[in-house]
Amino acid sequence: MSSRRSFIKSTSILTAGAIFKPPLFNYKKDYIGLQLYTVRDAMQKDPVGTLEKVAQLGYNSLEGATYTGTQKFYGLDPSGFSALLKKNNLIMPSSHYVLGEAKMGGQTMKGTILHEWDKAVDDAAAVGIKYMVCAFLFPDERGGLDKYKTLAEQLNKAGGRAKKAGIQLCYHNHDFEFQGEGTTLPYDVLLKETDKDLVKMEIDIYWVNKAGKDPIALFEQHPGRFPLWHVKDMDTTPEKKFAEVGSGSIDFKNIFKHADKAGLQYFFVEQDITPGDPFVSIAKSITYIKSNLL
């Protein structure tokens, strides 16, 4: 921690003396985030008690997961949810949304990129959200490369609207964006066809690894494009299950060395499925992060 907090660090000794420069790491290193999907059942039953427990474990930054469909934040309007965050000394700089092309129970989903996006943006701004993330494409929202080119256009438009409110739009990957025929993959199309200022990426490190790709290579190819990370580990079984951070096969220590190249601002622990109590799992993850990554 002390080296991260140093104002300067020595690089290399050249000719007559040492050259010093400020550290390159620019992410909000005082924040350890949690994607609330990890504790989704608890949030649905008792958001007040759940956020208290999350804060007690040491998390101070959140990423939301449930605005879509309700146009509320875990049953609360923006002012009520903001008050709950403040009470627990929490911030929520990012939240997840869906495209909205697919229907839910035959009904159009509101507060999505394609439907009532203006209200979603205004509500996000009221809560203090800085990043709105296209979280997932349902199967019937996917397709060939032309489908992803259309998606890129939709994201550019939505990103422009978000930018007017001081919010950055991002796209969150799974592994299906890295699947396809030929040398060009859907993820390549999204990176190329979206405006890099209007649409950035939330990289899910687990899914990139599961797809057989190297997150560090992506950072090198597209520097500054990845302000948000999902820090999610993969166990060593053939099934490659989700795991607590530091207990699996992903080399987070090496990946975090490239935070400056990626443009990282906030990261969020996420474990889609836990072997037991999710609070036990997120406690293990934050313990590892504090001891090894910060």
Task: Calculate helix-pair angle for 117-127, 145-164, nearest 10 degrees.
Answer: 50
Sign of dihedral through CA atoms 126, 84, 294, 13?
A: positive
- Tell me, what's the pLDDT at 55? 98
Domain holding 83, by residue range, is 26-292
What does pTM read for this prediction? 0.90
Number of domains in the chain: 1
Residue 21 lies in a domain: no
Question: Which residues of the chain carry a pLDDT beneath 70?
Answer: 1-28
- Tell me, what's the pLDDT at 27? 63
Residue 179 lies in a domain: yes
Residue 6 lies in a domain: no
Residue 19 lies in a domain: no
Residue 33 lies in a domain: yes
Question: What's the CATH code of the domain at 238?
Answer: 3.20.20.150
d(CA 103, CA 107): 5
Residue 1 lies in a domain: no
- Tell me, what's the pLDDT at 6? 42
Are the C-beta atoms of 171 and 132 separated by less than 8 Å? no
Residue 79 lies in a domain: yes
- Tell me, what's the pLDDT at 8? 37
Are the C-beta atoms of 1 and 235 separated by less than 8 Å? no
Residue 133 lies in a domain: yes
